[in-house]
C-alpha cells in the first residue's frame, strides 16, 4: 500500500511536468512561427520601395516621423536593400528551424532540449533586466517576467529529474 501511495504523487508530478513542458514547447514553436512569418513578409518587399512602406507604417500608427524611434526605424530602412532582405529572411528561417527542433525536443521531454531552452532563454535575462532598469514599461516587464518564469520552470524540471535519477 505504501508503494502505491508514494508512486501516485510521482506520477502526477511527471504528468504535470510533461504538460508544463508541452506549454513551453508550444510557446517556443509559436515564437519560431511568428519570426518565420515576419521573414516571409520581408520577402514581399524584394524589388519594392521599402522606404515608402516604412513611411506608410509610421503614418498608419499615427507616429511622428521626426520623433526618436520612428526616425531610427526610417533611417534603418534607408539602408535596406534586396540582399539584406534575403539575409534577414534566411536568418528568420534558421531561427524557425532552431525553435522547432527545440520545441520538438521539449515536447518529447529530451534533457538536451530543456538545457538548450534554459541557455537560450537565460541569455536574454541580463539584457531584459537592463532594459527594465533603463525604462520601466509594461511590455518590458512582461517579457522579463515570462522569460524568468520559463527559465525558472525549466531549471526546476531539470533539478527534479536529476534528483529522481540519483535516488
Could you report the per-residue pLDDT of 17-69, keeping only the tens digit for each?
A: 789 999 999 999 999 999 999 999 989 988 888 888 888 888 988 888 888 88
The confidence band for 146, taking pLDDT boundaries of 50, 70 and 90, is very high
Give the integer Cα–Cα distance in Å for 57 and 74: 10
H helical segments located in the chain: 2-43, 50-60, 68-78, 82-107, 111-122, 125-134, 138-166
Q: What angle do CA 74, 93, 112 make, to 5 degrees?
A: 125
Instruction: Give me the pLDDT at residue 24, please.
Output: 95
Q: Is 164 found in the same domain as 146?
A: yes
Q: Which long-range contacts (CB under 8 A, 24 or more apart) does 148-152 make?
A: 150/24, 150/27, 150/117, 150/121, 151/117, 151/118, 151/121, 151/122, 151/125
C-alpha to C-alpha distances, 32 to 37, 77, 118, 157, nearest whole angstrom: 9, 24, 16, 23
Report residue 64: phi and psi, to 5°: -80, 115
- End of a domain among 59, 91, 109? 109
Mean pLDDT over residues 70-87, rounded? 89
Q: Is 74 found in the same domain as 97?
A: yes
Number of structural domains, the chain? Answer: 2
- For 102, the domain range is 1-109
Q: What is the pTM of this model?
A: 0.77
**Set of cell numbers at residue 109:** 521531454
- Cβ atoms within 10 Å of 129's Cβ, excluding its own: 13
Instruction: Give me the pLDDT at residue 102, please.
Output: 97
Q: Is the Cβ–Cβ distance between 43 and 85 less than 8 Å?
A: yes
Q: Is 69 found in the same domain as 17?
A: yes
Q: Is 25 found in the same domain as 84?
A: yes
- End of a domain among 109, 135, 158? 109
Q: Is 117 found in the same domain as 162?
A: yes
Amino acid at each position: 500500500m505504501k508503494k502505491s501511495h508514494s508512486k501516485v504523487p510521482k506520477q502526477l508530478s511527471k504528468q504535470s511536468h510533461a504538460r508544463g513542458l508541452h506549454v513551453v514547447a508550444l510557446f517556443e514553436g509559436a515564437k519560431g512561427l511568428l519570426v518565420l512569418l515576419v521573414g516571409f513578409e520581408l520577402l514581399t518587399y524584394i524589388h519594392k520601395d521599402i522606404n515608402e512602406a516604412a513611411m506608410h507604417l509610421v503614418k498608419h500608427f499615427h507616429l511622428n516621423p521626426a520623433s526618436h524611434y520612428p526616425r531610427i526605424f526610417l533611417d534603418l530602412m534607408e539602408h535596406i536593400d534586396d540582399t539584406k532582405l534575403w539575409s534577414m529572411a534566411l536568418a528568420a528561417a534558421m531561427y524557425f528551424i532552431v525553435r522547432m527542433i527545440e520545441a520538438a525536443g521539449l515536447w518529447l521531454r529530451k534533457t538536451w532540449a530543456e538545457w538548450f531552452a534554459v541557455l537560450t532563454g537565460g541569455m536574454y535575462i541580463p539584457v531584459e533586466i537592463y532594459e527594465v532598469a533603463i525604462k520601466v514599461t509594461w511590455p518590458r516587464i512582461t517579457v522579463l517576467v515570462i522569460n524568468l518564469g520559463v527559465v525558472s520552470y525549466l531549471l526546476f524540471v531539470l533539478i527534479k529529474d536529476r534528483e529522481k535519477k540519483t535516488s
